[in-house]
Structure 1
Amino acid sequence: MGRYFGTSGIRGEVNKELTPELALRVGMALGTYLGSGTVVVGTDTRTSSEMIKRAVVSGLLSTGVDVIDIGVAPTPLTGFAIRIYDAEAGVTITASHNPPEYNGIKIWDKNGMAYTPDKERELERLMEEGKFKKAPWNEIGKLTRTSPKEDYIEAALKMVKLQGSYTVVVDTGNGAGALVSPYLQRELGNKVISLNAHPDGRFARELEPNAKSLSMLAKTVKVMKADVGIAHDGDADRIGIVDDEGNFVEYEVMLSLIAGYILRKFGKGKVITTVDAGFALDDYLRPLGGEVIRTRVGDVAVAEELARHGGIFGGEPSGTWIIPQWNLTPDGIFAGALVLEMIDRFGPISELAKEVPRYATLRSKIPCPNEKKQMVMALIRERIGEFFSYEREITIDGVRIEGSDWWVLFRPSGTEPVMRITLEAHTEDKARGLMEEAERLVRWAVEKAKTP
């Protein structure tokens, strides 16, 4: 059976891996799987999104499922629309932070949560078998077009309130967030300066919001003497923050701050994060009454654990945050509103960030062909004890080993032909030493896996 879905839906280069034919089969499979009801479909701003969307929509309609087309819409808006239109599912046409020549298809359930691997496997089975439901001419699905943008902003304003007004620079990278994020900030009462807000599908910067890609945002915040800079990836399910001094706030630090704020806003509870999150989160949240639970990388795993444990907040150290009081869809736009509320109540981010413990975090990517990943991981598990002396091992997603003041995570990328290494230690020297050994182990495993 073909494997179409990765860690974040289907992704691929347009008209190579991701074709209209494949998109049509996805729509027909989803419609067959659901049997009836309504599906919300939205797209990011990529040049190929309309083409892929129409193929998916055609597939859905052919099975007798109704479709609400919400047009160009960030992922959070799709998740929100599922709820307000009482839909059975949602589809976002997006490749998130990938380059413009890529696109993807991500599917959400009626609760706004990404489809689990089990549901994706079922769709793959239907796509392989090709036994799709075909509605008679008088029962073909109905297509309607609308936008829930105003409803989204109205609902967000009921949950987030500011006493003061702030200068906010919003950099949406010419992605779909440009249609909602600056407008929500304005409605909160802030003065908004927009960067890269032309949704033309060509993107003005690397879409992943990090220190390098947000250098222009950092300069703008400084020059305009703004209170904060907010950035998103292509579909605005992520958020990146530049503080009032024009510095990019590391993901780990921002994850700790927002999780801490959620605990203050909604009360004590369980915080769900992933195996690549560091010890700083635990150390910062413990005094605030937060219990940290780790799961597999990916927003669907975080959402599943939130639902299972009745968690109060879920977040990954990639700027992907889920606020269950709002929705189970990762939402960088609503997150931006919460960041402003946190500033309003507790002061500038540059000051708040000083309270978060700082440990040395390093990340590395080692090239590894996709077909070798399974063998490489098996070799790493087999030989890891020869390279490291450790106290604890976690294998829910890749392999994470821990000492008293350090950890190293090895896992294959779900979106690129690479092995990822993430690690943390209390000192830079210790971190560099660990990375040297970790890279040596992975390179050895990749080399070894080449020969049967």
Structure 2
Amino acid sequence: MYGVAKDIMMMCLASLRCYVDTMNAYRDTMFGLDIPSPNREQLGDMEVRIEKGKYDFGLATDGDSDRMALIDEAGKFVDYNDVLKLLYYYLKEYREESGGIVRNLATTHILDKMAEYYGEEAYEVPVGFKNISQKMQEHDLLLGGESSGGLKIRGHVNGKDGILASLLAVEMMARTGKKIGEILAEIDQKFGYLYFSYSNFNYDPSQRKRLEDLLFEEEYQPDLSQLVAEDLISDKKLEKVSYLDGVKYYYVDQSWISIRFSGTEPLLRIYMEMKNEAEVKEILNFLKADLKI
């Protein structure tokens, strides 16, 4: 994405005898007049190219190379949560390394199930990569990450490193001899599947206090009973509520909803993991109406 990783990535991949085609691998201080972020919206051209060509997978790093993205063998963008699952699974299952994980509260809970399976600890921290780095140092954890694409691996730089994550993905493919889709299928079979969703909702700044009072003073809890009664979603028994960063609702069936304000824009961010996409859509529509956003 016209970023600083272009030279070192080519050197590393060439030394590993990888056959590589490049895209946007030249200096452009305007980043092709686009956002240099490895999101699905910015990587559509790579998805199409992989879908039409004969490639094992695609790699992308952002402008400063602290984040990375994967495109699988079918030309499908790999969700950042799935990248974290892939790399932790590879480090534990194939490299047999020790250590737990830390994630922010807006990242998949499947990582917790994986850590439990391997007899390791899993920690949840507020949004902000400094919190992940601090927890990793405190407990000598193997991997830390967030659903926005940043991750850190023990023993390397004390921060996000998209170059290392990309090269670890290359190693994973070479050592396992499996495609990304095959490894993800293994993970889903072993640890289950949850559908992750992330949505931003604009609000008028004059509504900020109303929303804050509703969420934190009145301790709002979404009443999903009508959706359950209409058989639109599975039963949602509330297990606990956390105010660690915004408000987060944890349900007994391992699904969850996180609602927090953006620190930079008049946006209300809603994250959730549910059994499937249909549940996510029903609950999002309910929250939009109930919160009046």
Give yes or no for TM over 0.5: yes
Shift of 1:269: 1.8
2:241 equivalent in structure 1: 393
1:322 equivalent in structure 2: 152
Distance 1:439 1:308 in 2: 39
Shift of 1:386: 5.7
2:126 equivalent in structure 1: 296
Shift of 1:412: 1.3
Q: Match for 2:239: what amino acid?
A: E
Distance 2:281 2:147 in 1: 20
Distance 2:167 2:201 in 1: 37
Is 2:279 the counterpart of 1:430? yes
Structure whose CA Rg is larger: 1
Percent identical: 26
The secondary structure found in structure 2 opposite 1:179 is helix
Distance 1:188 1:287 in 2: 32
Is 2:33 the counterpart of 1:197? no
Shift of 1:200: 1.2
**Is the Cα–Cα contact under 8 Å of residues 263 and 290 in structure 1 kept in the other structure?**
no
Correspondences of 1:69-80 after superposition (within 5 Å): none
**Is the Cα–Cα contact under 8 Å of residues 100 and 115 in structure 2 kept in the other structure?**
no
1:71 equivalent in structure 2: none
Task: Give the total of aligned pairs.
Answer: 272
Equivalent of 1:365 in 184, 187, 200: 200
Q: Could you list the structure 1 runs, at least 4 aligned residues long, displaced by more than 4 angstroms after superposition.
A: 369-375
**Is the Cα–Cα contact under 8 Å of residues 260 and 288 in structure 1 kept in the other structure?**
no
Shift of 1:298: 1.8
Distance 2:252 2:67 in 1: 31
**Is the Cα–Cα contact under 8 Å of residues 89 and 187 in structure 2 kept in the other structure?**
no
The secondary structure found in structure 2 opposite 1:195 is coil
TM-score, length of structure 2 as denominator length: 0.84
Distance 1:374 1:326 in 2: 42
Is 2:196 the counterpart of 1:348? no
1:305 equivalent in structure 2: 135
Distance 1:407 1:386 in 2: 11
**Is the Cα–Cα contact under 8 Å of residues 222 and 287 in structure 2 kept in the other structure?**
no
The secondary structure found in structure 1 opposite 2:155 is coil
Which whole-Å deviations, capped at 9, do the CAs of 1:148-189 have from their partners, x for residues lacking one? xxxxxxxxxxxxxxxxxxxxxxxxx11222233233222222
Distance 2:10 2:206 in 1: 42
Equivalent of 2:168 in 335, 338, 341: 338
Which whole-Å deviations, capped at 9, do the CAs of 1:377-396 have from their partners, x for residues lacking one? 34212242364562211222
**Is the Cα–Cα contact under 8 Å of residues 90 and 172 in structure 2 kept in the other structure?**
yes
TM-score, length of structure 1 as denominator length: 0.56
**Is the Cα–Cα contact under 8 Å of residues 377 and 398 in structure 1 kept in the other structure?**
no
Distance 2:87 2:291 in 1: 34
Q: Match for 1:376: what amino acid?
A: L
**Is the Cα–Cα contact under 8 Å of residues 377 and 411 in structure 1 kept in the other structure?**
no
**Is the Cα–Cα contact under 8 Å of residues 101 and 111 in structure 2 kept in the other structure?**
no
Equivalent of 2:82 in 253, 266, 274: 253
Is 2:99 the counterpart of 1:269? yes
2:229 equivalent in structure 1: none
Shift of 1:355: 2.0
